[in-house]
Amino acid sequence: MGRRFNTAGPCLPAEHYMIPALSRLPEAPGLVDLKAYFVVHAPRQTGKTTALRALAQELTTQGRYAALHFSCEAARAAGDDFGAATLGILQWIKEAARWQLPSELRPPPWPEAPAAALLGTALGAWAEVCPRPLVLFVDEIDALRGESLVSVLAQLRDGYNKRPAPFPWSVVLCGLRDVRDYKAAAGGDVSRLGTSSPFNIKLKSLRLGDFTAGEVTDLYGQHTTDTGQRFAPGAVDHAYELTGGQPWLVNALAQEIVEEIGVPASEPITVEHLDQARERLILARATHLDSLAARLAEPRVRRIIGPLIAGDPLALDPYDDDLSYVRDLGLIAPDPPVRAANPIYREVIVRALSASVQESITADPRSFVRPEGGFDLPKVLSEFAEWWIENGEFLTSRGYYDEAAAQLILMGYLQRAVNGTGVVEREYAVGSGRVDLHLRWPYTARDGTTQVQREGIEIKAWRTGRSNPLQAGLRQLDHYLDRLRLPAGTLAIFDQRRGAPAIDERTALSTTTSPAGRTITILNG
């Protein structure tokens, strides 16, 4: 069987298309040479384990070090029982060494010691007899919690400080988050994550980045080389645009096309195939996307994602690490401005948060299809206005993502209306003051030709202490419609001021003319 795109577990060179792991952590070998204790962190499903395994193997093969990769994942069940966690870690070290290291580099029988010092004592005994400097890659370190994490980090720090007494030459901790959050995982004060870490000996934190555009081209090119299946002009660039280079998404899109949609190798993979695969992944709630969406309920995540969807400015206190935390999770881009990490995550976030709204909508999506096959947006807006009068106050009073509740509700209603036939693409960013929607509805016209109806919609909120956003919204919508090359559009304005008129008094549909002369439908809610 030939190689394939991998979306589950570490990549194996003989079985999977993959980017050379060592190229993704170019600084790591130099830090090992410096005897450094350092951190590698990255969101889930970005290739951390693949890269660490390859680096450990390379260091051992070169003959200078005894480098071992092992995981703490199974220690999650130990909780605060640091004695059980330590025994488990030592057992996993011994098992990993049996497969990764030649016999002369493997650890001796572990010595006896009190539970609170057993890990440090055992590692010191191994370092003392090992004929090469010992390097440990400790994967899934943030699987440890509470007292177990405190104990492990304290023993590593104590052994580091006692050098040149025998102890590992270099230790690399790898997990989902940067070291500053280990304090929280160990039971520290989450509100003061800027204070001293229980692992304050680390020299550096390395973030494993997403694939570059060139690496996506390389990965997909391996498939072409192996199978002869080409990517049509623009397809690889579109894959990079959709995924932002996120490794799991890059592989998942291609795997969906090749293995699930089943595009024959004799046919090229097109932009349309990628868009189809994107929608299928989102609708299927693939494990990676589902686990990502589950994070949205965390208060620290809500503090960032809520303003992001609403387009509001971020107001963060000094030493507030929530922004860095959400970046470490991979939900938002690693660099300013604050925005969703990629278009697929941008869609997953909104669909996950508006899913309950879609479940509560009883309107039949088929009623929004015109006789000639087009999408009846005026009818959707009219029925939404009636539904909003009945349900809006209740749905926006629940306190869950309240700053973006109205925007999420309208987006959920539209998503339900298009019902998988059409596509709603969204743009939102912190400080933008709006959400922009591009609705695309493909249909077969009566003459047999395929048509795509497109609509441009902007959503704004009228906040307490701010002026009516109508004029600013019309100007912004003109710019958006210029980009889409559309002659008309829709502007929805939700009055969220304290003391606003009753919902049945303010909810209405009207039309106006934009500064550029376009006819604009206004939805006030």
Residue 290 has a CB neighbour count (10 Å cut-off) of 12
**Which residue from 5, 31, 2 is spatially nearest to 19, judged by alpha carbons?**
5
- Check residue 182 and give its pLDDT: 57
Asked if 466 and 499 count as a contact pair (C-beta separation under 8 A), the reply is no
Sequence letter at residue 216: V
Tokens describing residue 511: 């039309």
Determine the longest span between alpha carbons in the chain, in angstroms.
84
Max mean pLDDT range (2-16, 34-48, 63-77, 370-384): 370-384
Residue 238 has pLDDT above 70, yes or no: yes
The band of 189, judged by pLDDT with boundaries at 50, 70 and 90, is very low
Region 288-305 average pLDDT:
88
- Check residue 312 and give its pLDDT: 87
- Check residue 514 and give its pLDDT: 97
Residue 188 has pLDDT above 60, yes or no: no
pLDDT per residue over 457-480, tens digit each? 999 999 999 999 999 999 999 999
Residue 303 has pLDDT above 50, yes or no: yes
Max mean pLDDT range (281-285, 384-388, 395-399): 384-388
CB-based burial, 254-283: b 16+ in 10 Å, e otherwise: bbbbbeeeebeeeeebbbebbebbbebbee
- Check residue 147 and give its pLDDT: 85
**Which residue from 495, 311, 310 is spatially nearest to 405, judged by alpha carbons?**
310
- Check residue 195 and give its pLDDT: 38
DSSP H helices, 397-501, are 405-418, 470-484
Tokens describing residue 491: 């502007």
User: CA 147 → CA 119, 161, 193, 205, 426, distances in Å?
Assistant: 14, 21, 18, 23, 44
Q: Please give the helix or strand (H or E) that residue 250 lies within, else none.
A: helix 247-255
Domain annotation for the chain: domains and CATH numbers: 21-207 (3.40.50.300), 213-284 (1.10.8), 290-524 (no CATH)
Max mean pLDDT range (257-261, 319-323, 399-403): 257-261
Distance CA 392, CA 68 (A): 57
Residue 520: what are its φ and ψ, rounded to 5°?
-120, 125
The band of 318, judged by pLDDT with boundaries at 50, 70 and 90, is low
DSSP H helices, 361-469, are 377-396, 405-418
Mean pLDDT, the chain, as a whole number?
Answer: 89
Residue % of the chain over a pLDDT of 90: 64
In 3-state terms the chain splits into helix, strand, coil percentages (rounded to 5) of 50, 15, 35
Asked if 511 and 487 count as a contact pair (C-beta separation under 8 A), the reply is no
**Which residue from 426, 461, 252 is spatially nearest to 351, judged by alpha carbons?**
426
Region 125-144 average pLDDT:
94
The band of 191, judged by pLDDT with boundaries at 50, 70 and 90, is very low
Residue 247 has a CB neighbour count (10 Å cut-off) of 28
pLDDT per residue over 14-27, tens digit each? 999 999 877 888 99
Q: Please give the helix or strand (H or E) that residue 38 lies within, else none.
A: strand 37-41
Residue % of the chain over a pLDDT of 70: 94
